[in-house]
Structures are given as C-alpha cells and as structure tokens.
Amino acid sequence: MSKPSALSIAIKQQAHTLGFDLVGITTASPPPHLPAFQDWLATGQHGEMAYLAKRAEDRADLQRVLPGARSIIVTGLNYLPGGESPPQNYRIARYAQGTRDYHDIISAKLQQLAAFTQTLGHPGTQTRWYVDTGPILERDLAQRAGIGFIGKHTNLISRRLGNWFFLGEILTTLDLPADAPEKEYCGTCTRCITACPTRAITAPYRLDARLCISYLTIELKGSIPVELRPLIGDRIFGCDDCLEVCPWNRFARQSPVKEFQKRALPPLTEFLTWDETKFRDFFRDTPMYRLKRRGFLRNVCVALGNSGDKSALPALKQALADPEPLVREHAAWAIGQIENHPVK
C-alpha cells in the first residue's frame, strides 16, 4: 500500500460527495484471477454470454482499453431497497425492484467523477469509465482496490455493506497511490453454496452460469431447460438466494437512493395481459426492460406453473395465443404443471 496523496484524497472525497459508499484505488496491472476467468470461459460455463469471451486481450492488458492507464478508481454504490415487501407471490432480485436502471444512475456519477479527476491532472490526463459494460474484471480489481472481497458465491462482499452494492470503475492515466487489497473473510462458511437452488456454485469461488437462476431468467434469451424450470420457483427476474444468506449482511443498511426503493407491482396473471406498449411503458428505464416482453412473460409463465395455482389457468390458456412462440411454449408447460400438480 502506498501513502495517500493529495490527489487520491481529493478523488475519494469527491466520490463520497457524489454519493458513492465505497471507493478504492488500484494499479492498472493485469487482474490476478485472469487465468481462472480464461479457464471458466474455455469450459463453456458462461453459457450464451458471448460478450464475456470478446475482447479477451483487453481484459488481460488494460493498456489496450486506455493507452497509458496507470491507475483504476473503483467505486461501490449501495442499492439495498428498504421498506416492507409488496404483497406479491413472486420474487425479483433486489437490484431490479426500483424505478431506474442502475447503469444510468452510476454512469452519471462516474462521468462527474471522471471529469473531476481530469481537472486534477495535467492537460493530457485521460479517463475512461465503465459500469459492468467494459472488458475489465471488475470484481478482481475491486478486491485489489480494497473495497471488498470475492466470496465463495463469486460475488463481491463488503465488510461495510454486505452483498448489496454495485461497482463502477474509472481508468485514468494519473499515477495514484494504490490502496491495500482486501483480504478474504469467508473462512469455513459455505452458506451460499448450500443455499443455491440449482447447485450452480459447483465449488467455492466457481459458478456454472448455465445453472444459475439469474442467468436462466435474464441472460438466456431462448427456452429455459425443462429440467431447471421447477427449480426457478417463484423467481421472475434474477435470484438473491446466495447473497441473502451471507453473514456479512448484518452490516447492510438501506440505500438512500430513492430510485432503488421497492415499488408495487401487479399480480403475475395481469402481466400476461400486457402488450408490448404496456410492458415498455411500465418497465422502461429499469433493469427489467432488458428482458423484453417475450423473456419477461416466459419467466412469468414458469413462476405460475411452479405455483400450482389453478386460478392462473385462464390467464395461461389465453397466453397460448400469444404472438410470441416463446411465451406460448412456457404457458403450455405451466398449464401442464398446474393440471398435473395443483396446489392442495
């Protein structure tokens, strides 16, 4: 760890002023877990997320991302929504329960922080910022910057915020003192591994995305494998199970960002009546919108099928006439599930 400089102190102060809860600085040297990531890709455990395999050279050499990069500023923003959960019989990952997409909120803050950073350097100082969109291994860099450690569920954990925060990064040509890397504090705990409904965490620090409910309900664009549908349960967007059980969440606190707070949503069967316009108007500017209507209603059908609730049959049978084949397929499966295994 290097002694903080006036520049690094000023940058961190500005980050906190902009609302970031965590901020650390590391070098632009290659990420330490790059070989493990490359092996993960080689074994196909990223599924259909082809974008992860692109620009592999850039992930290994950040000079290809920003020539002359010397330092990386890593930020964390708490997103834990507060208040009582709305009365609904389905689950959505906490990060998507609000009214705005986190990319938009963090991008605005990073843009301001990057501009501030450039004013501190010489006229030729360059910056480039990302919110989980660039060819960088952000969790690796975040641990090296000291703001958290990678848990056995492969997510980043903060001793101050638990599991509930977003990451953002700024690459800069400024040479800033690096913070000390965070240590790993999982110890012998394996709660996250045990909690995973699909056993997607195949070993400590190893995730097979093809089994992960977050992948199946968000990243996978086509049909969900039939054998995995019952394991999805009542989840229609993402899964927090491995995060929820982490003991470090005892330090979590509600986010002050109003856009991350929970909002009321309609019953599952009502979603099946929505056309493209209704879906777009309700979910636009939120993480849910990336699913598109077809993917969202696919998930709704699976959750209804898993509910075993016969009262959902009329809505599901109407969905058999949906213009999207993907929706029709999963509606037919859900009907079969309910008719063969109704709730007693």
| Interval 9-40: pLDDT, tens | 999 999 999 999 999 999 999 998 899 999 99
Tell me the Ramachandran region of residue 132: left when phi exceeds 0, alpha when psi lies from -120 to 50, beta otherwise.
left
Quickly state the pLDDT bin for 344 (edges 50, 70, 90).
low
The answer to whether position 100 is within a domain reads yes
Can you give the pTM of this predicted structure?
0.94
CATH of the domain at 331: 1.25.10.10
Interhelix angle 6-17/102-120, nearest 10 degrees: 150
Domain count, the chain: 2
In a shared domain, residues 159 and 300:
no
Residue 256 CB coordination number (10 Å): 11
The answer to whether position 322 is within a domain reads yes
The answer to whether position 237 is within a domain reads no
Domain that holds residue 317: 266-344
Spatial CA neighbour of 148 closest among 162, 135, 137, 136: 162
Query: pLDDT, tens digit, for every residue of 139-169?
Result: 999 999 999 999 999 999 999 999 999 999 9
Share of the chain above pLDDT 70, in %: 97
Domain boundary among 130, 155, 172: 172
In a shared domain, residues 143 and 277:
no
Active site residue 101: no
The answer to whether position 282 is within a domain reads yes
In a shared domain, residues 168 and 279:
no
What are the residues facing 168 on neighbouring strands?
A: 75
Task: Kindly name the residue from 58, 132, 234, 309 that is annotated as catalytic.
Answer: 132
In a shared domain, residues 296 and 165:
no
Query: pLDDT, tens digit, for every residue of 223-266?
Result: 999 999 999 999 999 999 999 999 999 999 999 999 999 998 99
pLDDT at 1 > cutoff 90: no
CA-to-CA distance for 236 and 229, rounded, in angstroms?
Answer: 11
* Structure token pair of residue 337: 């599930």
Spatial CA neighbour of 60 closest among 81, 36, 29, 39: 29
Domain boundary among 172, 197, 219: 172
Which ranges constitute the DSSP H helices of the chain? 6-17, 34-42, 56-60, 102-120, 138-144, 191-195, 213-214, 229-232, 241-244, 268-271, 276-283, 292-307, 313-319, 325-340
Domain boundary among 172, 204, 224: 172
Question: What φ, ψ does residue 22 adopt, rounded to 5°?
Answer: -130, 145
The answer to whether position 79 is within a domain reads yes
The answer to whether position 258 is within a domain reads no
The answer to whether position 272 is within a domain reads yes
The answer to whether position 218 is within a domain reads no
pLDDT attached to residue 3: 67
